[in-house]
Amino acid sequence: MNKSIWNIEKRLDCGYLVYNTLTGGGVVLQEDEYIKYKSKPEDLESNIKSILYENGLLTNFLEEDEYAFYWNFYHTLVYQSIFDELHLVLLPTYKCNMACTYCFEQNKYLKDSLKYTFPIKALIGFIENLFNIYKFNKVRTVFYGGEPMIFLEEIVNITEELNKWSSKNGIKYSFSIVTNGTILQKSALRKLIKYGLDEVQITIDGPERVHNIRRPFLNGKGTFKRIISNLDLFLKYSKIDVTIRINIDEHNCEQIGGLIDFFIQKGYTKKNNFTYYAGLADPQKPPTDWTNSYIPLRLDQRIYTYLKAWNLIMEKEQNVVNMLDYHKYKFGLCPAKVYGSFFIDPNGDLYSCYSLVGNKEFKIGDIYNGPSPFYYRLFYLQDKKLKECLDLKCPYVPLCNAGCLYHAYVEHSDISQKVCQRKFYEDVWLRIKGEIYERICRVQQ
């Protein structure tokens, strides 16, 4: 009987939180239970031991076995996922009807890349070539941009063709849309739902005044009222999941409480298909005036912005189940680390990462010729970094999986470099997780 190498601990007012970063299981132990857990876990009562085993906090594995299991489990997800699902993020356009202050499209690589028709036939050919090799069961697409809803008709055409192809090959097709929320037609929405739309993500950055400063139309006018009007339609006429992303930086992180109050007043938080979360606005390289003013470049400097925002969420949110759901940092792989996950821009170029799309330095192929050798080298570089993290015996490896390509580029101009996120997990993530479990303890008392 051994304590898992992935366990982390935090002292709470109501006991000791023991949390496993691989399984996502957490248990609060009372002091006498914690003492036994630390010294002689075999002396714990059988029901406590069962709970600890169920959550992966106690294991029969030896230390080296746990490392080997993680290594194999990680790579199974990386390389086997394509046999189940092909995941594509499609950018019908880089064009947008808004002028967000921190937008990545100010990137110099995008200025000459605007196209207004998406190469659907080539896309189908690309998917078919992969299907002939991997025989996956599902195709999942995410429409992204730019603002994809500018070309609503194009999205309808793409989803119609993908539906036809999927039906012919006996596989399931579904998709979601990441949108600024300013464009919506009920007739098009009905078609999209018919073809498999099951989730929409909309960005709202704060109360009306704050949001309109950060995310105006191209002519400078505010977008908040238009977005809320369309959000009401999404929630009223469909059962698709609607997620609100709040991009945060030093400009708005202390203002998001007003937005959450607004959601509560509108009754959104009582709807089963509505969720929201706060995410850091990614800095650009080279930095813009906005980045220099509000968004620290280094990850270890940005974490306190996230903490301030989460303190406000904790203050406003009363549903502890929602808090656990919103606080989603747990084991999982971002698309950049999964074999068979591609970002496809309007030109048909392939990329691995949301934040590096359009940066020609990180192009990994195209839909006409398939992935390039650089695509496969990324997985080799990732493994080198992962091995280094495992050699350091860091218990947070299942959460960061050796860090982020994008942050390596931003901080070092070199994606082969490792950006350690341990400080974030220790100073922010674990603190937030502890406060959520404190709240759970108070509810259960």
CA trace torsion 355, 145, 116, 338 (10° rounding): 60
Burial of 434 (0-12, 13-18, 19+ CB in 10 A): buried
B/e letters for 345-379, b = 16+ CB within 10 Å, e = fewer, are: bbbbbbbbbbbbbbbeebbbbbbeeebeeebeebb
Closest C-alpha to 139, from 195, 193, 77, 97: 195
> Do 192 and 215 form a contact (C-beta atoms < 8 A)?
no
Measured at the CA of 38, the angle between CA 36 and CA 44, to 5 degrees, comes to 30
Give the type of residue at 2: N
State residue 116's pLDDT score.
57
Q: Residue 17 and residue 209: Cα distance in Å, rounded?
A: 40
Measured at the CA of 107, the angle between CA 116 and CA 364, to 5 degrees, comes to 70
Q: Residue 308 and residue 371: Cα distance in Å, rounded?
A: 41
Ranges of each domain in the chain: 2-60, 79-336
pLDDT in tens, 64-110: 999 999 999 999 999 998 999 999 999 998 888 999 998 866 544 44
Q: Residue 185 and residue 152: Cα distance in Å, rounded?
A: 9
Return the structure tokens found at 376.
Answer: 């496969």
Residue ranges in 183-223 assigned as alpha helix (H): 186-194, 208-214
State residue 104's pLDDT score.
65
CATH of 79-336, one of 1.10.443.10, 3.20.20.70, 3.30.2310.20, 3.40.50.360: 3.20.20.70
Own/partner pairs, 389-394, CB within 8 angstroms, 24+ separation: 389/418, 390/67, 390/70, 390/71, 393/5, 394/422
Element (H, E) at 50: helix 46-54
Give the type of residue at 408: A
* Tens digits of pLDDT across the chain (445 residues): 899 999 999 999 999 999 999 999 999 999 999 999 999 999 999 999 999 999 999 999 999 999 999 999 999 999 998 999 999 999 998 888 999 998 866 544 444 444 457 899 999 999 999 999 999 999 999 999 889 998 888 898 999 999 999 999 999 999 999 999 999 878 878 888 888 899 999 999 999 999 999 999 999 999 999 999 999 988 887 788 999 999 999 999 999 999 999 999 999 988 989 989 898 888 777 777 888 899 887 877 888 888 888 888 888 877 776 677 666 555 678 889 999 999 999 999 999 998 888 889 999 999 999 999 999 999 999 999 999 999 999 999 999 999 988 889 888 889 889 889 899 889 888 998 898 899 888 877 6
State residue 108's pLDDT score.
46
State residue 327's pLDDT score.
60
Ramachandran assignment for 206, one of left (phi > 0), alpha (psi -120 to 50 degrees), beta (any other) = left
Closest C-alpha to 6, from 62, 76, 56: 56
State residue 112's pLDDT score.
46
